[in-house]
Amino acid sequence: MDIAVDVRFTPAGTPLAVRHEGIIWAVAADPVHWFAREDWRDTRRTAAAGNGDLVSIEYWRIQVRSGTQSPLRTFTLRRNPLSFQWALDSLSGAREV
């Protein structure tokens, strides 16, 4: 799964809400944040020295809901190096009807 999503962050830099399929999903629990690294030989990315990290992929796992009574869903968000766009890497949980 690799679907572009819009993410709104708090001033402290943690996800506050995600827009996916035209719905605003509010973060309803403490998010989990981590980084994974790609093998730089496999990325085929090049940049001038000092232009940043070309191999660290940023992830957030968040529990969200679209309304106060809707069931929780878990979204895993991913942002690739040198990208400003967040992607929905995976989702799980009950689908709202």
Binned at pLDDT 50, 70 and 90, residue 65 comes out as: very high
Q: Distance (Å, rounded) from C-alpha 2 to C-alpha 11? A: 26
Q: If you average pLDDT over every residue of the chain, what do you get?
A: 86
Range of the domain at 31: 3-93
| Chain segment 11-48, per-residue pLDDT in tens | 999 999 999 999 999 999 999 999 998 765 665 555 55
How many domains does the chain contain in total? 1
Cβ atoms of residues 89 and 78 within 8 Å: yes
Asked if 66 contacts 57 with a C-beta cutoff of 8 angstroms, the reply is no
pLDDT over 50 at 78, yes or no? yes
